[in-house]
Amino acid sequence: MVGAVQGAGVVVTGAGGGIGAALARRFAAEGGRVVVNDLDAGKAKAVADEIGGIAVPGDASAIVAEAKDALGGVVDVYCANAGVGSGGSEAAPEEVWALAWDVNVMAHVRAAQALLPDWLERGSGRFVSTVSAAGLLTMIGAAPYSVTKHGAYAFAEWLSLTYRHRGVKVHAICPQGVRTDMLDATGSAGDLVLVPTAIEPQDVADALFKGIEEDRFLILPHPEVAGYYEARAADPDRWLTNMNHLQQKWEAAQ
């Protein structure tokens, strides 16, 4: 399997359930030594106990040092998976925008700040960012989520173009709907856009490992997203018109 994973020290944030738990299980199954992080200490411990990992609960923005100690001083793979699916428009409260920015973007930045000195010194490290297809496209009814996921994708892209020649591997995972609690929380917008093609969290983990094997930056568990992304770039006005039709359909159903 993936040689870079066997024996590697792996951190997965937001791993108490959903995509994070699936990633933790897969890394453990492939021989990784996995730190399971989640705000919910009970959920983190349950997944860690299941896979023979180490639970390090708490804020994903501030656990790198503790996770590094738990792994004997070395983090080889960091999965910045914790996120919030903040809905709403431009009128969403400031605190909603601030939380989305802090969790979906700045937690990744803080992790990179803590990890990169060691990685650049030794010439290796792997940063996995769970973004979303919303980071490539957008999501109706969810301005804070869409905007901050664009930010998460931009930061992953910047990391890759800046440090790939120094041994740092970066992967951006951009699924559409995944059958998790976050999907359930998207309400009628998710029912319209995401639920019809939703996949299982394990499918996301499978896509990541295939991407690692092929040394790819962009991981698309829903392959059709590539076509949407291409159409958006080729003809933005046509793409926006089509998305606006979807917006109108959603509004009419409210």
Question: Which one, of 224, 207, 112, 211, lies nearest residue 162 by Cα?
Answer: 112
Dihedrals phi, psi of 185, to nearest 5 degrees:
-80, -5
| Sheet with 33-36, edge to edge strand ranges | 54-55, 33-36, 9-12, 77-80, 125-130, 168-173, 218-219
- Judged by DSSP in three states, 14 sits in coil
Question: How does 82-120 read in b/e, with b if 16+ C-beta sit within 10 Å?
Answer: bbbbbbeeeebeeebbeebbbbbbbbbbbbbebbbebbe
Active-site position among 145, 153, 163, 228: 145
The DSSP annotation for 185-248 comes to TTHHHHHHHTGGG-B-HHHHHHHHHHHHHTT-SEE-SSTTHHHHHHHHHH-HHHHHHHHHHHHH
- 229: annotated active-site residue: no
What whole-number distance in Å separates Cα of residue 7 and Cα of residue 70?
14
Do 70 and 62 meet the contact criterion of CB atoms below 8 Å apart? no
Q: List, by residue number, the catalytic residues.
A: 145
